[in-house]
Amino acid sequence: MRGAITLMLLTTAFIASVLNQLPIRKWHSFIARADPWTFLPFWGFFGPNPAYAGVHIVYRDRSRDGWSGWEEIPIPSPNGWRWLWNPARHERKALHDLINGLAKIIHELNGSDKIVLSSCYLALLAWVCEQARIDTTAVCRQFALVETIGHGSVRQVRPVYVSREVYFDESRIRT
């Protein structure tokens, strides 16, 4: 009896997962209400403009001795169990959305000082400032968005955006 119930549940989950990959608007509306914890996977492998580059966020600290090297904010990488358990997908998705939002704002404002007032910039700044200091005597921090294209020896890296310096203060952060 348990085996039959387990088989029925797994079959139902499999069919629902397959349906979740298809462009059925009514199904997606139903699942959005019925699955608030996003139990069912959705993989967007293809699209009109599939991703061809990776964007990373890096930061560096400045102390009296000068700037440190750039450090990448570690986002947990996918592992072999991500099909079953993948809590890091939320962090990667949030970073991806913030970076895309900031890229759009940068394009729209064309280098204006108003970029630093955008919610995407402020969220990224908060994320960067939560990272451990590279140098304990650091007085300020700077972050950058870096785009990587390709793999191995043909990998190209180019900066997309470099922030202003953000000064550390015991009572507040000032730019």
Tokens of 36: 């608030």
C-alpha span between 64 and 73 (Å, rounded): 23
Domain spans of the chain? 2-34, 54-174
> What's the pLDDT score for residue 44?
54
> What's the pLDDT score for residue 53?
65
> What's the pLDDT score for residue 82?
61
Q: What angle do CA 143, 110, 108 make, to 5 degrees?
A: 100
Identify the segments of the chain with pLDDT beneath 50: 45, 48-49, 171
C-alpha span between 99 and 13 (Å, rounded): 33
> What's the pLDDT score for residue 49?
46
> What's the pLDDT score for residue 148?
81
Residue whose tokens read 């960067």: 128
Q: What is the largest CA-CA distance in the chain?
A: 71
Tokens of 125: 């700044």
> What's the pLDDT score for residue 92?
74
* Cross-strand partners of 148: 54, 157
